Amino acid sequence: MKKTALVIGATGLVGNELVHQLLADDRFGAVLVFVRRSMGISHSKLQEFIINFDEPQSWSHLVKGDVLFSALGTTLKKAGSKEAQYIIDHDYQYNFAQAAAQNQVPVYVLVSSAMASVSSRIFYTRMKGELERDIQLLPFQAIHIMQPGMLQGNRKENRPGEKIGLYVIRLLNKMGIALKQKPVPASIVAKAMINVSFKNDKRISVYALTQVFTAAEQ
């Protein structure tokens, strides 16, 4: 039987790539995306719900399917404050996952971050670590957490700091330095997310950089 995929963060770099791969994957019969603004695409398998993440009572009953892919996130600059970024990167994703768990969605796949840790002194990685911790307490049958490094792809928004970071990492990699920070194409992360969604031999699986590449090749 073909699966129903649920996606949040579909307008972002990884999420957009993920949706297109899901639509092309014959194993999925329906792709439900929950977005704040339309993706602007049409497909027989695609169902798009424009929602307000602050009003779960208006959408929680719609969160039903076989696997939830969570790729929602923003930048501090775009959010305007750490508090606002935390609401989007942590609270919105957690609340949506909670609704999915309550509706007995069995599998959850999250795009997190390298070095995510609740004890991190860096706000961003601490926030990601707290999300990972909280998600793992929800009663999913299988939870898959991707921890890629710097993401590579064509963004709709301009992030000059990220572009500089990618350039430096590529340069260091050519010199044999910082191999653990190899840029990861969004297409690779998306492919890995889809592949692991069919695995349920462990309840919680975490994929570091090299494991993301390995999962994409399976």
CA 109 to chain centre: 7
Question: Global pTM?
Answer: 0.88
Structural domain of 35: 3-157+185-217
H or E segment to which residue 33 belongs: strand 28-35
d(CA 38, CA 151): 23
For the chain, how many structural domains are there in total?
1
55: in domain: yes
- Strand 28-35 with 184-185, pairing: unpaired
189: in domain: yes
172: in domain: no
d(CA 25, CA 5): 11
204: in domain: yes
d(CA 215, CA 67): 17
The residues pairing with 152 across neighbouring beta strands, listed in sequence order, are: 185
- We report the CATH number of the domain holding residue 205 as 3.40.50.720
The per-residue pLDDT string of the chain (218 residues; one tens digit each, 9 = 90 and over) reads 999 999 999 999 999 999 999 999 999 999 999 999 999 999 999 999 999 999 999 999 999 999 999 999 999 999 999 999 999 999 999 999 999 999 999 999 999 999 999 999 999 999 999 999 999 999 999 999 999 988 886 655 544 543 444 344 345 445 554 455 678 999 999 999 999 999 989 999 999 999 999 999 98
111: in domain: yes
178: in domain: no
174: in domain: no
Instruction: Show the tokens assigned to 23.
Output: 């639509």
8: in domain: yes
